[in-house]
Amino acid sequence: MVNKAPVDISTGSSQYEYVKCVVVGDSGVGKTCLVRAWACDTKYRLEQLVKTHVSTVWATDHYRNDKEVLDRSWCHVDDCRVSLRLWDTFGYHDKDRGFAYKGADVVLLVFSVVKPNSLRNILSKWQTEIKNECSTTPVVVAGTHADMRFLYKDQHYRGMEKGLLYKAIDKGDIITPDQGREVAQMIGAPYYETSILFNYGIEDVFFNVVRAAMVERRKIKFWNAQLRRIQYPLIQSPLPVPQPLFPTVTVAASTFDFDLAQLLKNQNDGDIIFNVRGVHIRAHKICLVIASELFREILLMDIKEQEGCSDPQTNGRTEKRTNKEDEQVLLDNEDILEESPIIDANSNCSDDRLVRHGGRDIISARYLNHAAFEKIETVSNKNSTGEGVEQTVVTVTQEITPQAFQCVLEYMYTGRVREEYSQLLEVQQAAELLKLFPMLVALSNLQTQETYLNLGLEKRFHTDRVDKLQELILEQGLLNDIHFEVDDGVVGAHKPLLIARCEMMCAMFTDNFLEASAHVIPLPDVTCEVFGVLQEYLYTDKIQSLDSVDQLALIAVANRLCLPRLISLVEDYVVMELSRAARCDEDILEEVLMLIEPSQFHNALQLAAWCQHYVCVHYREASKRFFRELRSLQKENLALIEENQWPPVWYIKEKERYDQLMGQKTPSLHIQQKAQFSRWQQCKGSCFCFCRRSKVLVEEENYDFPM
């Protein structure tokens, strides 16, 4: 602990000791930061430590000019009052540091645990320099940047903006504590490690620097009572390695609204044609039905009528009843006042019902007494393969222009209005005739320059559209135009939505493939349950609970259909469920272990990364309980898990060593080292002087202290 200095330190009383510590080491290893962290209590952030290195030195003038620095230099070490004065130096080897070594009580030799050259230079350069300048001065070795042993893998650190000349750290740069301690042992010095980012080891280093100096001073001032209480430099507990954060699952951004809007541009696949003043505009029934109440009344009624014709035994009776019911509904709504089918109501729904009109086969027609529409027809046209395809043709009244109707269609596909219209009045009239009241409000906001209000209207439009998709399309199964044969049945679907939401489906239905003209498409290795979730995602851009669904099978089909967002949604759900189970102390280790390679195979890489991380964190347990399953992983996965296991191997060794030494009953075994450098010259004279001897330390010769 750093304490305030005594009031009177000029008396030279023997109860106070002064220690001069010279800090040396290669340039860029963190000497100045270490000095400032002790002398000034400076705190550092990671962003500050990854900038391009600029050589600096902490001047000793601070002890004369800054009272706070002077006060912080005083500390209690083993009940001895000591003022530690630090001398920072430049790390360049061509600099003359002879003046700094003069009068030094101890030398702190610093290297970086992520710069192997700085460790090698201890033996090749610094040992020689210290021997030449102050051969009898004790030395303490300190390794900086100890936190980088695990931070160099951190994604936050990797993604940080670093200095232009900052050298990236890789696995080969890491120096383990055993390697650093081995070099320190070769020069007879105690060994410590520091991290100014985590404030680790700073007091350990400088308290033991004081101990090393005081132990050496005790050999001369052996009568000093307080120096007798000074211990040898103590061992240091290893830096706790924090558990790495679990990777987060990033869900891809939604393109649902954009995808549906693109259907307006892809008019070749439209199943309804609007005849607006002789201009034919294609659209998609499903997009109109989910966006407009008026189109739901007209188009869904026509569909129910067609469904009534499907049974030949009751066809006439059903059609007659349907016509009367339709007439009553239309009269009640005051939308359609008259129904005049071209075909007799009691005739059969067979091919002989077709009436040739204008080069088309007209199946049925209905005249509408409505302000926006004149009539609706069901016709049969031949597609590119020569197959007859039913289409609906709606004739729009003359009050609506093609340009205005196109703007209205754009709103029903996108839910938003343009910033300006060349014919605003025509667009308003068309919206009013089609009963698009939210669009009228949006146009009014546009005129009053309150367009910010349209954001809420647009959000409400998209919400209502998804609700209608869920209600009418998914739950009631209306407007199906394609079927898929899955493993346990046949399910209906909708080409426009599949084309808009899935590039794989778009290519299958629009290019020259057999599936483009097929009515039933086989989809192997998919169940109805899995297809239902797939369909829910494609139609609503969300998925409900997946508890009863084979989630891995869903990921597999999403990968087959190239749906990365669906994969990420399932990954996020699975990770949340596994995390919840882990918090409830459920055993999920085996399940996670078995998910790694199937997830990788189906491109669920985020789920695989999470599972790998979980196994890394629980590696020791996995290697004991599921050794066979762990070893059955591919070599790349096994190597990754072993390399990133937590705690790392070096920490486990350090912790075992520390616990072993601290568990000894003999207090002397807690001491790290009993001697400093063993290179002092022995006095060969016949005098009785109190010289320092290099190999004869009387008070410790019976102890064998650990390194």
447-487 pLDDT tens trace: 888 888 989 999 999 999 999 999 999 988 888 888 999 99
Percent share of the chain, pLDDT over 70? 81
Residue 320 predicted with pLDDT over 60 = no
- Check residue 324 and give its pLDDT: 38
pLDDT tens per residue across span 389-410: 778 899 999 999 999 999 999 9
Q: How confident is the model at residue 305 (pLDDT cuts 50, 70, 90)?
A: low
pLDDT of residue 548: 87
Q: pLDDT at residue 345 above 50?
A: no
pTM score, whole prediction: 0.78
**What is the average pLDDT value for the chain, to the nearest integer?**
81
Which pLDDT score is estimated for 168? 82
3-class DSSP string for 267-315: HHHCCEEEEECCEEEEECHHHHHCCCHHHHHHHHHHHHHHHHCCCCCCH
Helical packing angle, 424-433 and 402-414, nearest 10°: 70
pLDDT of residue 316: 33
3-state secondary structure of 83: strand
Mean pLDDT of all residues in 142-153: 93
pLDDT of residue 268: 67
- Residue 382: pLDDT band with limits 50, 70, 90: low
Task: Determine the average pLDDT of the residues in 424-443.
Answer: 92
CA separation for the pair 610, 600 (Å, rounded): 11
Residues 286, 288: Cα–Cα separation, whole Å: 5
Per-residue pLDDT band at 97 (split at 50, 70, 90): confident
Count CA atoms within 13 Å of residue 85 on its CB side.
17
What pLDDT shows up at residue 428? 92
Q: Which of 40-49, 186-195, 297-306 has the lowest mean pLDDT?
A: 297-306
Write down the pLDDT at residue 383.
58
Asked whether residue 259 carries a pLDDT value surpassing 70, the answer given is yes
Q: Which CATH superfamily is domain 16-241+657-700 in?
A: P-loop containing nucleotide triphosphate hydrolases (3.40.50.300)
What are the residue ranges spanned by the domains of the chain? 16-241+657-700, 272-474, 481-583, 587-646
| The domain defined by 481-583 carries CATH number 3.30.710.10 | yes
Is 106:137 a contact under the CB 8 Å cutoff? yes
pLDDT at 266 over 90: no
Q: What is the pLDDT of residues 557-586, one digit of tens each?
A: 999 999 999 999 999 999 999 999 999 999
DSSP letter string over 344-371? -TTS-SSGGG-EEETTEEEEEEEE---S
Q: Is the pLDDT of residue 605 over 70?
A: yes
| 3-state DSSP percent of the chain in helix, strand and coil, to 5 | 45, 15, 40
Q: What is the mean pLDDT of residues 605-631?
A: 95
For residues 596 and 602, what is the distance between their CA atoms, to the nearest angstrom?
10
Residue 178, C-beta contacts closer than 8 angstroms, at least 6 positions apart: 650, 653
pLDDT above 80 (res 347): no
DSSP state of 137: S
pLDDT digits (tens, 9 = 90+) for 19-72: 999 999 998 899 999 999 999 988 998 888 887 767 777 777 788 888 888 888
Q: Are 57 and 88 in contact (CB under 8 A)?
A: yes
The answer to whether 163 and 55 are in contact (CB under 8 A) is no
- Do residues 461 and 438 make contact, with C-beta atoms less than 8 angstroms apart? yes
Give the pLDDT confidence score for residue 683 in this predicted structure: 38
Q: Give the pLDDT band (50/70/90) at residue 517.
A: confident
Query: Which residues are CB-neighbours of 673 under 8 A, at least 6 positions away?
Result: 188, 189, 190, 232, 233, 705, 707
Q: What is the pLDDT of residue 686?
A: 37
343 pLDDT exceeds 80? no
